[in-house]
């Protein structure tokens, strides 16, 4: 006889495990199918491992600039194998925590590739599972570009790059989306020669134009070579041929040209959440969708924050300046160097830009240390329709980066 469940979920990334945990909290009998590791891309090959490695690059870079802070450190070197080992330990620890939470929630985990047969049936490992509701949260995979197929030795995907045993001397990064920008930041932090190739006219083309331009400036100061409005034609060994005839060199090539969903056919009555939808491919979007499906808590899909871990951090919410009609908005633009705290931290680079219509913030774009947290303050104001005048009544602590938000309000 087939096993019976209230909820069957295929895929255990942030979309799947959030749906499973919230489902079980509601008293549903849940079965969760996973063909690889629990936690999906986010925990095993995405958000967490990249940020673990990024932190090491950050510390190494800080040490390089320590002399300017009155601290002398000699003989600093990177043991990249240990950087990777630390990353593995962090991932493994967090995964064990997730496995335990799932187990303690009474969710049944089925290890193996699952196939959704129809809106109430899943098959896996030659067994059939009857489910009142099925959620597909099967995620996405690195996009493969013609002429740049991954060979996993020098032409690498965002999965391969996580497990290099040593730092390359040089790297070419194809694509300047969030993944490309973060890896450029990581490798340049470790002292690797970095070239970044972008098809669009600006780096991080999804961002506000002033953000893109500032990233370019920051990258140039870090000696990252930028090739814009060009594409890669072919890769021959260490030689990367660009469409403008230039040939650049990289011991490794990271192809970070987005993510895609392969062999995807929607089945009527099944709910699709997370990356598999091909909408916004972010972990917090995936988990919010899960909560929406299970608990019915709706969220505004035009208000999903973006964070990119550059140096300094980059974050934005809402409308970009290039999306607004000229004359229809007010703008404040404040340099982070105006904040005392930024000098104390030796991190005066960046800006806070706020766009306002009818006394309400419609967009905010931040490059700053702590931008990832700052953006959340603005999002809460936008989402709750808090006017600029009302925000001016809030008391912001000193010395902080939040003060920058407060000061910006008076520039409108």
Ligand X SMILES: Cc1cc2nc3c(=O)[nH]c(=O)nc-3n(C[C@H](O)[C@H](O)[C@H](O)COP(=O)(O)OP(=O)(O)OC[C@H]3O[C@@H](n4cnc5c(N)ncnc54)[C@H](O)[C@@H]3O)c2cc1C
DSSP 152-182: SSSEE-TTGGGG-SS--SEEEEE--SHHHHH
Least CB distance to ligand X at residue 232 (A): 19
Q: Does residue 137 touch ligand X according to CB under 6 A?
A: yes
Q: Does residue 34 touch ligand X according to CB under 6 A?
A: yes
CA distance 273 to 23: 14
Least CB distance to ligand X at residue 169 (A): 22
116 beta partners: 122
Least CB distance to ligand X at residue 262 (A): 10
CA distance 215 to 177: 12
Least CB distance to ligand X at residue 230 (A): 23
Helices (H), 145-276: 178-189, 209-221
Stretch that binds ligand X, among 37-45, 225-233, 263-271, 399-407 (CB under 6 A): 37-45
Query: What residues numbered 148-187 form the site for ligand X, per CB under 6 A?
Result: 158, 179
Stretch that binds ligand X, among 21-29, 217-225, 241-249, 282-290 (CB under 6 A): 282-290
3-state SS, residue 77: coil
Single residue of 7, 9, 32, 42 touching ligand X by CB under 6 A: 42
CA distance 270 to 267: 6
Query: What residues numbered 11-30 form the site for ligand X, per CB under 6 A?
Result: 11-16
Closest by CA to 135, choosing from 227, 270, 15, 287, is 270
Q: Phi/psi zone of residue 384: left (φ > 0), alpha (ψ -120 to 50 degrees), beta?
A: alpha
Print the binding letters for residues 93-132 with ligand X: x by CB under 6 A, - otherwise: --------------------xx------------------
119 φ, ψ (degrees, to nearest 5): -65, -10
Q: How many CB atoms lie within 10 A of CB 218?
A: 19
Stretch that binds ligand X, among 215-223, 268-276, 350-358, 391-399 (CB under 6 A): 268-276
Least CB distance to ligand X at residue 277 (A): 8
Single residue of 24, 138, 195, 347 touching ligand X by CB under 6 A: 138
Least CB distance to ligand X at residue 2 (A): 18
Tokens in use for 86? 């630390």
Whichever of 40 and 348 has its CB closer to ligand X, that residue is: 40
Whichever of 16 and 23 has its CB closer to ligand X, that residue is: 16
Stretch that binds ligand X, among 36-44, 59-67, 237-245, 261-269 (CB under 6 A): 36-44
Whichever of 56 and 137 has its CB closer to ligand X, that residue is: 137
- Residue 242 near residue 253 (C-beta atoms within 8 A): no
CA distance 211 to 109: 43
- Residue 260 near residue 143 (C-beta atoms within 8 A): yes
CA distance 318 to 337: 24
Print the binding letters for residues 43-82 with ligand X: x by CB under 6 A, - otherwise: --xxx--x--------------------------------
Residue 245, judged by CB atoms within 10 A of its CB (0-12, 13-18, 19+), counts as exposed
Least CB distance to ligand X at residue 176 (A): 14
Single residue of 250, 274, 310, 348 touching ligand X by CB under 6 A: 274
Single residue of 275, 349, 370, 403 touching ligand X by CB under 6 A: 275
Least CB distance to ligand X at residue 357 (A): 27
CA distance 312 to 132: 47
Residues interacting with ligand X, by CB under 6 A?
10-16, 33-36, 40-42, 45-47, 50, 113-114, 137-140, 158, 179, 274-276, 281-284, 286
């Amino acid at each position: 006889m087939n096993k019976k469940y209230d909820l069957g979920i295929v895929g255990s990334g942030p979309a799947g495990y959030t749906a499973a945990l919230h489902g079980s909290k509601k008293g549903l009998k849940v079965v969760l199918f996973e063909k690889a590791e629990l936690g999906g891309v986010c925990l095993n090959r995405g958000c967490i491992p990249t940020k673990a490695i990024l932190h090491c690059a950050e510390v190494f870079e800080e040490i390089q600039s320590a002399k300017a802070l009155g601290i002398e450190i000699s003989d600093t070197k990177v043991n990249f194998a240990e950087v990777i080992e630390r990353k593995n330990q962090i991932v493994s620890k967090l995964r064990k925590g997730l496995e335990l939470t799932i187990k303690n929630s009474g969710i049944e985990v089925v290890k193996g590739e699952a196939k959704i047969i129809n809106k109430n049936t899943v098959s896996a490992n030659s067994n059939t599972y009857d489910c009142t509701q099925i959620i597909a949260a099967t995620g996405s995979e690195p996009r493969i570009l013609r002429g740049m197929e991954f060979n996993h030795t020098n032409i690498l995907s965002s999965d391969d790059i996580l497990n290099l045993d040593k730092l390359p001397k040089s790297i070419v990064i194809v694509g300047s989306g969030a993944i490309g920008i973060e890896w450029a930041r990581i490798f340049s932090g470790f002292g690797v020669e970095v070239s970044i190739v972008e098809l669009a006219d600006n780096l991080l083309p999804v961002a506000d134009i002033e953000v893109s331009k500032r990233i370019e400036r920051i990258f140039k100061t870090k000696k990252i070579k930028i090739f814009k409005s060009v594409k890669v034609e072919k890769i021959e060994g260490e030689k990367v041929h660009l469409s403008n005839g230039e040939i650049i060199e990289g011991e490794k090539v990271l192809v970070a040209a987005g993510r895609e969903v392969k062999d995807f056919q929607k089945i009527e009555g099944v709910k699709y959440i997370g990356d598999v939808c091909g909408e916004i491919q972010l972990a917090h979007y995936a988990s919010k969708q899960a909560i929406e499906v299970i608990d019915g808590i709706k969220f505004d899909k035009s208000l999903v924050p973006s964070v990119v871990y550059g140096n300094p951090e980059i974050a934005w919410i809402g409308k970009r300046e290039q999306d607004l009609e000229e004359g229809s908005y007010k703008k404040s633009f404040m340099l982070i160097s105006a904040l005392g705290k930024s000098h104390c931290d030796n991190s005066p680079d960046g800006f806070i830009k706020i766009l306002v219509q009818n006394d309400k913030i419609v967009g905010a774009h931040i490059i700053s240390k702590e931008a990832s947290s700052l953006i959340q303050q603005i999002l809460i104001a936008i989402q709750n329709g808090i006017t600029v005048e009302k925000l001016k009544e809030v008391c912001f602590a000193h010395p902080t980066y939040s003060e920058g938000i407060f000061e910006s309000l008076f520039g409108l």
